Amino acid sequence: MADLLARHHRAEELRAYAAAEGLGPARWRLVEVLEQCGDIEGAIAACRQADRPMAPDPRSAVQLAQLLARHGRGNEAIDVMCALADTRNGDDWTLHTLFDLHLNDGRPGDGLAHLDTLAAIRGGEEDWDLYWIRLPLIAALDGVDAAIAQARSHPEGTIWYASSHIADLLARAGRIEEAVMVLEEHTQNSHDLAGYLIDLGRVQETLALLQRRRLRTPSLWNGPRYDDPPS
């Protein structure tokens, strides 16, 4: 119903429908329509209504923050996500969104300071899932090499999944050859490695890599293959 009303530009009926429905998908369809029509304040107001103060929904907060950021209100977007991160400390999805906003708003130092505060609350130790969030902030503030050194100082910094994040830092800096060398140290990174090889135009190496990966990957299907000859 919400999609039907939106397609026919019946915004007032959609607003009434969203109000009657409460906090369901119609509310978010209304936000999209209002933004598309240029009613940014109306879209923000509708978004805030969906973000219940007594029972905050992280998805609502993220959508509100992204809406604010799209319209040049980065400080407000960061405030929304800071409030959510303070109540959900250790939620990596929330923290990723918050520090992407810090990065895009040109405030990597503020992002690192907030991360340090949250880490101190957790006792100062961070698993890699949370630790790697700080790497793009360090790269923006002190350079890629400083971020890589920080990554490798972590207890998990030499494990294959850490190599993927280190390679991403290098690739974003245009150092794709170095990213390839990092990923070649671990066979588990073949998917990411293939993408960088394609970027370098090394197509034959990419095909060989993916073929080896296909041969190594066990099949979950034990029945006949489509290319098996008929019995």
Kindly report which listed range (4-18, 93-107, 195-209, 215-229) carries the lowest average pLDDT score.
215-229
For residue 115, the SS3 value is: helix
Choose between 212 and 153: higher pLDDT.
153
Provide the mean pLDDT of the chain.
86
- The span from the first CA to the last CA of the chain, in angstroms, equals 52
Window from 4-8, 20-24, 124-128 with minimum mean pLDDT: 20-24
Q: Is the pLDDT of residue 230 over 50?
A: no
User: pLDDT-based confidence at 220, cuts 50/70/90?
Assistant: very low
**Which comes out higher in pLDDT, residue 19 or 188?**
188
Judged against a pLDDT cut of 70, whether residue 163 lies above it is answered with yes
pTM: 0.78
What does residue 38 show for φ and ψ, rounded to 5 degrees?
Answer: 90, 5
- Using the predicted structure, report yes or no on whether residue 156 has a pLDDT greater than 50: yes
* Tens-place pLDDT, residues 102-139: 999 999 999 999 999 988 988 877 899 989 999 999 99
Do residues 75 and 105 make contact, with C-beta atoms less than 8 angstroms apart?
yes
Residue 45 backbone zone (phi > 0: left; psi -120 to 50: alpha; other: beta): alpha
Q: What is the pLDDT of residue 51?
A: 56
DSSP assignments along 132-191, one per residue: TTHHHHHHHHH-HHHHHHHHHTSTTTTSHHHHHHHHHHHHHTT-HHHHHHHHTT-GGGHH
Distance CA 161, CA 137 (A): 19
Location of structure tokens 């066979």: 187
The alpha carbon of residue 230 and the mean position of all alpha carbons in its chain are separated, in whole angstroms, by 47
Average pLDDT of 44-56? 68
Alpha helices in the chain (DSSP H): 2-7, 11-21, 25-36, 40-50, 58-70, 74-87, 92-104, 108-121, 128-131, 134-142, 144-152, 160-172, 176-183, 190-199, 203-216
State the number of CA atoms in the 13 A half-sphere of 163 facing the CB.
19
